[in-house]
Structure 1
Amino acid sequence: MAYTSDQPRTSVTLPSDTEIVIERTLQAPPAVVWSAWDSADHLGKWWGPDGFTMTTKSFDFRPGGQWRYVMHGPDGTDYPNLITYLEIDEPNRIVYKLGGDVESEPVNFVTEVEFIVLDDLRTKVTMHMSFPDKEARDFVIREYNAAEGGKQHLANLEAYVNRLDHGREQHEPVVVARVFDAPRSLVWKAWTRQEHLARWFGPKQVELSHCSLDLRVGGMMHYCMVGLGCEEHWGRWIFREISEPDRLVFVVSFADRQGNPARAFFDERWPLEMLTTVTFSEHAGKGKGTLVTMESEPINATDEERGVFYAGRESMRGGWGGTFDKLASFLANNKM
């Protein structure tokens, strides 16, 4: 059986009752790909499915060494994990065992990771997971959504090594993720129907007095946010990519009443344009649901504007956190 992701470079296959194989061709040099695996600092910036973060307790990268860490799910669930490294053959192969500790998650399998050089700029990564029996394999697929999680895992690896390769690690996008207790098709509708957006979009204690949506590449969402003091702040999205039901990409700007981009009311040094990517994926963890991940970064910005943007990272996360609270309430209380 095979699962193919929306990215044709990724596949998940089940060659036998006790195996899962995940493959992806990364657009990155082999040395850069290997470097993402050999330190806790690098691993902590990409390891795991979408929306997960991680805390390393201890890390010893050598045959017989162990990596003890906790995965933090976007729904707040913690997953203690233990990896024991069985073989390290730089730059070709890593073999490790996951599990085998009473304090870790109830899974136990061996993974062989192969790094195959295709050329100077492309590396094929294959993760071959072997389980003690069919029940153990089926358990991680059923309880942890391992097939979808595996695809997200290697996609996150590629995104990270691309930043490393282009020297952009120090400027990671602002990321906000949340798991919603609703099917992905309904969450997509909430983001792509004007009548729905008008009822939930915007930070807490803010409502939209105007919302128009032209959902097409090059189209615009134009809106006006009204706060408690009745002040009006206009904004706009210009759509660059619409891939139902997986992904929206748009350029965000403050705006005037006519929809022209405008400087932020709170700081003239705020970037005029921000590239925002919103992805919708099945939650690869307990409880299922739909994981929505928002990433934002400045574009066409000066060094000063970029500095102001990243200095406001926590404020942005707070604003989007309140917006996601409103979306969760909307999904729970409205039929679509």
Structure 2
Amino acid sequence: MELDPATDLKIERILDVPREKVWACWTQPQHIPHFFIPKPHRITACEIDLKAGGRFNTTFEVDGRLIENKGVYLEVTDGEKLVFTDTFTEGWKPAENPFMTGMILLEDAGAGRTKYTAIARHRNAETRQQHEDMGFYIGWNIAIDQLVAYAKTL
């Protein structure tokens, strides 16, 4: 897949956790609150219908304010790939103010480790820059560290 540096952001890391555990964390709603956003912010609700067109809804609590994030999965390849977006909600209803499409790509890295690639695709360069300025690299890396710590407890 070719990425466009004007609209796409990417993080690639090797995680010291087996791919099956990383996949479980990303695909089972009881796990999402443990890693999905940097602490002290938190997820207060999560709904997952793990199929193309199925819902991926989360509610964030950030500085005491609740933020509803409704979206759908565009692609689900078991154990390997999740593509989700807030461009649509369940039933392919267009969102009023979409922000991004996310991709999580997982590969075995040997010795019980996972090659983890996270991509955030944006509709234009301004939105991409806004996401980077919001702390994309710092925030997403914190969430990945939280994912690893939590997955090791499973």
* Band of TM-score, shorter chain: 0.7 to 0.9
Alignment of 1:58-73 (within 5 A): none
What residue number does 1:248 align with?
A: 82
In structure 1, give the amino acid aligned to 2:114.
T
Q: Please list every run of at least 4 consecutive aligned residues from structure 1 whose deviation after the TM superposition is greater than 6 angstroms.
A: none
Q: Is 1:282 aligned to 2:108, yes or no?
A: yes
Residues 331 and 313 of structure 1: CA distance in aligned 2, closer, same or farther (over 3 Å): same
Provide closer, same or farther for how the CA distance between residues 311 and 182 of structure 1 changes in structure 2, counting only shifts above 3 A: same
State how far apart, in whole Å, the 1-side matches of 2:86 and 2:138 are.
17
Q: Check whether the contact 1:210–1:223 (CA below 8 A) recurs between aligned residues.
A: yes
* Contact 2:100/2:120, CA 8 A, preserved across alignment: yes
Give the equivalent residue in structure 2 for 1:200: 35
Say if 1:237 and 1:252, in contact at 8 Å, map to a contact too.
Answer: yes
Identical counterparts, % of pairs: 19
Deviation at 1:178, TM superposition (A): 2.7
Corresponding residue SS for 1:249 = strand
Structure-2 change in CA distance of 1:254 and 1:235 (3 Å): farther
Q: Within 2, Cα distance between the matches of 1:208 and 1:251?
A: 17
List per-residue Cα deviations over 1:279-308 (Å, max 9, x = no partner): 001227xx6611211111113xxxxx5324
Q: 2:108 is matched by which residue type in structure 1? A: E
Deviation at 1:316, TM superposition (A): 1.4
Q: Write the mapping of 1:311-330 to structure 2, written as runs, cut at 5 A.
A: 311-313=130-132, 315-330=135-150
Q: Which residues of structure 2 form unaligned runs of 5+?
A: none
- Is the 8 Å Cα contact of residues 9 and 128 (structure 2) preserved in structure 1? no
The AA in structure 1 aligned to 2:84 is F
Look up the match of 1:231.
Answer: 65
Q: Is the contact between residue 18 and residue 112 of structure 2 (CA under 8 Å) also seen in structure 1?
A: no
TM score, norm. by length of structure 2: 0.82
Partners of 2:15 and 2:115 within 8 A in 1:
yes
The answer to whether the 8 Å contact 1:234/1:254 transfers is no
Which residues in structure 2 correspond to 1:1-336 (within 5 Å)? Answer: 159-160=1-2, 168=4, 170-171=5-6, 173-227=8-62, 229-252=63-86, 261-263=95-97, 272-283=98-109, 289-299=113-123, 305-313=124-132, 315-332=135-152, 334-335=153-154
- Count residues with an aligned counterpart: 150
Shift of 1:254: 10
The superposition leaves residues 286-334 of structure 1 with CA deviations (integer Å, 9 ceiling, x where unpaired) of x6611211111113xxxxx5324235425212221121121112112x2
TM-score normalised by the chain length of structure 1: 0.40
Structure number with greater Rg is: 1
